[in-house]
Structure 1
Amino acid sequence: MSLSVPPELHHDLVLVEHLLRERMRARLAIISMVGPHLIADPSDRLRALMVLAIARLGNRTGEQVAHAAAAVELIEAATRAHDDLIDEQARRAGRVANGAWDHGVALMVGDYLFALAAGEMARSPDPRIIGLYSQAVMQICEGQLIQVTSLAHREAALTAYWQRAEALAGSLLAAAAQAGVLCGGLPEPLLEPAAQLGLRLGLARQLAGEIRDMEADGALLQAGSVPLALLYAAGEPPVPEVQAVFTNPAPATIAAALPIIRATGLPAARAALAKQQDAARQALAQLPVGITTPWLAALIDQIGGLAQ
C-alpha cells in the first residue's frame, strides 16, 4: 500500500530512512539476497509513520522519535525473515519449505535485524518502548502458532482467525502507536486508545487486502491462507466447494470456490472491515487533536478504500 506522507512528517521520515540505511549498511548485501522484500518499500512505512504521527500530537519530533520509528521497521523486517523460513501452504501440509538459502542463514538475518532493532530501542526517549515492542514480538510469535485447522466448527475457526490476525496484523502497529504516545510525552491513559487505533488499522488493512484478493484471482488461497470471507462462506456443515479449497487449494478448487466466497462471504467480510474502521475512528477521537490528526483520519478511510 503506497501511503501519502503529510508534509510535516517528511523530514522525520527521511531521518528514519537514513537510520535504516546506516544500520544495515554492513550486511545489506546478505539481507537483500536472503529476501529483497524484507525491508519494506519506503512508500510503505506505516509503522514508522504511526510512531511519528502520534508523537506529533504531543508536538515532539527529532532524532529520538526517529529511533523508535526505525526500531519498529527493523522488527517488521526481522519478522518477515523468520516468517519466510516456513511457507504457509507447506506448514498446513506439515512440510518445511526449501529455498535458495538454507534456514540457518535466514534465521541469522532475522536475528541480526532484531539486534539492530534493539539498538534503536535503546536510543528511544522512553525505556518503556522496549517493553512495548518486546511484547508485540511475543504476540507475533504466538500468532504464528495459531492455525485454522478445520471448518467443521465455524465459531472456533473464526476465533482462531481473529486471534491470529490480531497478533500478526495488529500487534506491532498497536505497539508503534503506543510508542508514539511515549515519544510525544502524552499522558499514560492515552496508551490504550492509541493501541486500539493501531490494532484496528492493522486488522482493517488485512481485511482490505483479503477482500481485494477474493475479488481478483484468489492468490491468497493458492498460498494456503484462510481469509475471513472463506470462513463466512463455509457454513455449517461446510459447503463442499469451500471445504475442498480449504483442504486442497489447487487451481480447480479455487475456481469452484471463489464464486461462492464472493457471493456469501465477501458481504460479511466487508461489514467486518467497516467495523474495524469505525473502531479506529473511535480510538482516534480519544487522542488529542494535532497537526497529524487529519492525516490519521484520512488513513483510516484510505485503508478501507482499498477494498472498494
Structure 2
Amino acid sequence: MPAFELYTDDIKQDMDSVDNYIKRALKTHQRLLSDVINQLAGSGGKRLRPLMVILSSRFGGYKRDEIIHLAAAIEILHMATLVHDDIIDDAPIRRGEPTVQSRWGKDVAVFTGDFLFSTVFSLLSKEVSFDDLYEVSRVVKQICEGEVDQYQHRYNTAVSVRSYLRRIRHKTADLFALSCVIGAKRAGCSKPIYNALENFGMDFGMVFQIIDDILDFEGQQEELGKPAGADFEEGVYTLPLIYALDTKYRLPLLDVLNKDRYDASDVEAVKAMVKAAGGIEKARSIANNFAAKAVEDIKLLPDNEHKRIMLAILNESVERRY
C-alpha cells in the first residue's frame, strides 16, 4: 500500500498547514524575491523532512501549532540548501523546473538562499531551546562541509566508498535525523524514543540519498525532474560509479570520464558500463543494509499508525524510481 494512503486525516491536514505556513513565512514586499519564492514554494517536492517532524512528534505530547512551526522551518532550511546546491552544481533543472540560478542568475540565487536561511533562524529563535538551535546550526554547518567535500572531490576517480558515505551523511542524512529528533524532543519524548527516531532519520537519509544516486544512472529526465547522468557529468562521482571504477571497467570508464566534454552517447556509455560492472547492484545492496538498520530503529518505537507510515515511507524510498 502506498504510504500516502496510510496518512490519517489529521496528518494530511498538518501537511497542508505546513505548506500554508511556509507561504506566510516567506512573504516579502521585495518584488523580485517574491517572484522567486513563489516559484520555489510552488515547485512541489516530497516534503519528507517536515513529515518526519510531524510523525516523530506523535510519539510524545503532540502540540500542533509548535510542530507545524518547526516542520515549516525545517522545510525552508531544506529549500535553502537546494538553492545553494544548484548554484554550486550549475544545475539547470530541479523538479522539472528551471532552477533559481538558471532562471534569475547566480546573484539572485545567493540572495534567495540567504533570505531562506535567515527566515529559518528567525522562525526557530521563537520556538526552540538554545540546545535545539545549536543542533540546527550544527547540521547547517555539516551540510556546508558536505558540499565543500563534494566540491573538492569533483572529478576524483579515486574517491573512496567511505568518503562518499561521509559526504552523503552530512549532505542529506543529518537533516533527516534532525527532522526526527527535533520533533520528538519538542513533543517531550523519552530519551530512548528520540534516540531511536534520530537513528531512523539518519539511516533513512542514507537510503534516500543512495537511491537518488542510483536513479542518476537508471532514471529518465521526465521522471527525475533533472537530466539523467547529471551528477557524473558535473564530476560528482557517486556510489554506483565508485564501485564500477574498482572493476575491469575502470580503464574504459576513465576514457570517457577524462573527456573535456560529454555527448549523449558518452553519458549512455557510462551508464551502461556502471550497470555491467555491477555498480548499481552493489550500491542498492548498501542501501538495503541501511534500510535494514532503519527497520531495527523503528522496532524500538511504540506500535501505532505513525510507526506504520514511517515504515511505508522507508519501503517506498527503497523501491522508488524517481
Which bin holds the TM-score, normalised by the shorter protein?
A: 0.7 to 0.9
1:188 positional shift: 2.8
The residue correspondences of 1:1-308 to structure 2 (distance < 5 A) are 4=4, 5-26=7-28, 30-31=32-33, 33-34=35-36, 38-39=40-41, 41-42=43-44, 44-87=46-89, 99-124=102-127, 126-147=129-150, 148-149=153-154, 153=158, 156-216=159-219, 218-220=228-230, 221-235=232-246, 239-248=250-259, 250-251=262-263, 252-263=265-276, 264-307=278-321
TM superposition shift of 1:122: 2.3
1:15–1:265: structure 2 CA closer, same or farther, 3 Å change rule?
A: same
Structure 1 Cα separation of the partners of residues 132 and 162 of structure 2: 29
For residues 75-105 of structure 1, what are the alpha-carbon distances to aligned partners after superposition, in whole Å with 9 as ceiling and x for unaligned? 1111122222222589xxxxxxx84534333
- 1:191 deviates by 3.5
- Does the aligned pair in 2 maintain the 1:12–1:66 contact within 8 Å? yes
1-structure distance, mates of 2:295, 2:127: 28
Supply the distance in 1 between the matched residues of 2:10 and 2:290 (Cα, whole angstroms).
Answer: 27
| Structure 1: distance between partners of 2:36 and 2:291 | 35
How many Å apart are 1:125 and its aligned residue?
A: 5.1
**Counterpart contact for 1:151–1:157, Cα < 8 Å:** no
What is the CA–CA distance in structure 2 between the aligned matches of 1:28 and 1:208, rounded to whole Å? Answer: 38
Segments of 5+ residues of structure 1 without an aligned counterpart are 91-97
Q: Which amino acid aligns with 2:253?
A: V
**Aligned-pair Cα RMSD in Å:** 2.9
Alpha carbons of 1:175 and 1:48: their partners in 2 closer, same or farther (altered >3 Å)? Answer: same
In structure 1, C-alpha distance between the alignment counterparts of 2:186 and 2:30, rounded to whole Å? 28
> Are 1:59 and 1:184, in contact at CA under 8 Å, matched by a contact in 2?
yes
| Counterpart AA for 1:164 | R
Aligned CA distance change for structure 1 residues 241 and 306 (closer, same or farther; 3 Å): same
- Measure, in 2, the Cα distance between the counterparts of 1:196 and 1:40: 31
> Take 1:255 and 1:149, find their aligned partners in 2: how far apart are those partners?
20
- Percent identity over the alignment is 23
Give the secondary structure class of the aligned counterpart of 1:26.
coil
Judged with a 3 Å threshold, the aligned counterparts in structure 2 of structure 1 residues 14 and 236 are, in CA distance, closer, same or farther, namely closer
How many angstroms apart in 1 are the aligned matches of 2:90 and 2:169? 18
Structure-1 separation of matches of 2:37 and 2:253: 33
The one-letter amino acid paired with 2:72 is A
Are 1:32 and 1:38, in contact at CA under 8 Å, matched by a contact in 2? no
* 8 Å contact from structure 1 (residues 233, 261) kept in 2: yes
Deviation at 1:42, TM superposition (A): 4.9
Give deviations 1:91-132, integer Å, cap 9, x for gaps: xxxxxxx84534333222211111111122123254433122
73 and 289 in structure 1: CA distance in 2 versus 1, 3 angstrom threshold: same
1:242-289 deviation per Cα after TM superposition (whole angstroms, max 9, x unaligned): 223433461333222222211221110110111111111111222333
- Residues 213 and 236 of structure 1, relative CA distance in 2, 3 Å threshold: closer
Superposed CA deviations along residues 158-195 of structure 1, whole A, max 9, x for unmatched, are 22211211111211111111111112210134343222
What SS is found at the alignment partner of 2:127? coil
Distance of 1:234 and 1:40 partners within structure 2: 39
Counterparts in 2 of 1:14 and 1:28: CA distance versus 1, 3 Å: farther
Aligned residues: 299
Over 3 Å counting, the alpha-carbon distance change for 1:247 and 1:294 in structure 2 is: same
Which stretch has the larger CA shift, 121-130 or 190-199?
121-130
Is the alpha carbon distance of 1:35 and 1:158 closer, same or farther for their aligned partners in structure 2, counting shifts above 3 Å?
A: farther
